[in-house]
Amino acid sequence: MTLKQQLSSLTKPLLLTCLLSGVATPLFAADVTPQSEAAKSIPLEEIRLFTEVFERIKNSYVEPVDDAKLLEDAVRGMLAGLDPHSAYLGADAFTDLQSHTSGEFGGLGIEVGVEDGFIRVIAPIDDTPAQRAGVKAGDLIIKLGDQPVQGMGLADAVKLMRGKPGSELVLTVVREGEDKPLEIVVVRDIIRVASVKQRLLDGGIGYLRITQFQVNTGKDLQLAIEKLQSQSELSGVVLDLRNNPGGVLRAAVEVCDAFMDQGLIVYTEGRVANSELRYNATQKTLVDNGVPIVVLINQGSASASEIVAGALQDQSRAVIMGVDSFGKGSVQTVLPLTKDRALKLTTARYFTPLGRSIQAQGIVPDIYVAEADVNLKESGNFIKERDLSGHLENAKAEADDPSEPLVSIVENDFQLYEALNLLKGLAVVRSGAKSTKVQPASTIQ
């Protein structure tokens, strides 16, 4: 029996499946013998198994199931079996993805992935209900409300997290270091994510925080840098990518280009020709090469964040500080199927300029600094020279530094404090001047 005769004996659902997979036309264009290459590449037994399961469900499931729903669920299953980042995007999911990359969407404000049948928090987004409620990167969500998530598809889990602003959702999470699961109450809200935040710190050090990589992140970064430069000449820059789950690849390239005036940024490799791309820096840098940069990363820094950190590290443009990043080294392409449906398919791996793949490994920081709580020691009532009766006055006394002390940063963000110390040291070496201010000694809990 020829392949065509075998296929013609299969049921209608098989024909629909072939049409969905895009192979119906060549199969029925001409007679093909089992010895041909096409015959060898088609798993007939598995196709028969699929149609058998389809018919069993149709005839024996406790309730009637629509043919279209069964076929769409089969497509979801195909994508879910590939990797944690490939997915079938129905109408709602496709709309959510477009809103997410534009910077406004509804929900809790967390980036999630699938791990061992549960939902893993990659990172909570800044200034969102999830972050305010105490959700942390690395949390493993085991229940959404009263519904266990084990075995639940990512799209279904995200759908449960969506809801009317003001409504509550209880997340049951397993967290490393905790003896039992935690219940975290999160109040849903409209999520409007500011992609870039800036602040001028003492000593002329600019602080740039990128919460996620959106379509307009490159333009937002340019405006933020120009605002900092209008306030002071920059002696250094802290680029904070902690808990940044990634986003648009082009935005990551634009961010690197703002700090580099030449050299390779990232390249991708895949099975199809248009997935092999190379991105190089232009000469339109926004921050002079002489200005030192410290990039902060942690376990919630993923994807586009790792592209930026890896490029600046390989090109010796920045010091990477923090802890190992998440380790997502693949590129997803959105392939539209209809006006409101699409595939999000992993089509390539990306590599840093020196050819490193960070897939399942992450970016290793140049200087390892873990998160820590810091307590300042009391200085005590020590007697100094100026307290002695009849002491000589300093004829060249300088006015007190009006800049705000960094006590609040020490207490709340030890990694940022260490980044500032490093940049201050580099500025001293560059200028040949002595430090004008010494911060209090501290102990780490």
Catalytic residues: 303, 314, 328
Containing H/E element for 356? none
Q: Are 151 and 96 in contact (CB under 8 A)?
A: no
CA 108 – CA 163 distance, rounded (Å): 9
Structure tokens given for 211? 């919460």
DSSP string, 364-410: PPSEE-----EEEPP------GGGSTTPPP-TTPPPPP-SPPSHHHH
Residues 6+ apart with CB under 8 A from 78: 88
Residue 227 and residue 206: Cα distance in Å, rounded?
Answer: 10
Name the 3-class secondary structure at 320: strand
DSSP 204: G
Task: Give the residue among 305, 316, 298, 302 at the shortest CA–CA distance from 414.
Answer: 298
8 A C-beta contact, residue 237 and residue 248: no
Buried b (16+ CB within 10 A) or exposed e, 56-93: eeeeeeeeeeeeeebbeebbbeebbeeeebbbbbbeeb
* Torsion angles phi and psi, residue 412, rounded to 5: -105, -20
* C-alpha–C-alpha distance, residues 240 and 321, integer Å: 10
Among residues 140, 426, 201, which one has the least CA distance to residue 293? Answer: 426
CA dist 295 and 277 (Å) reads: 25
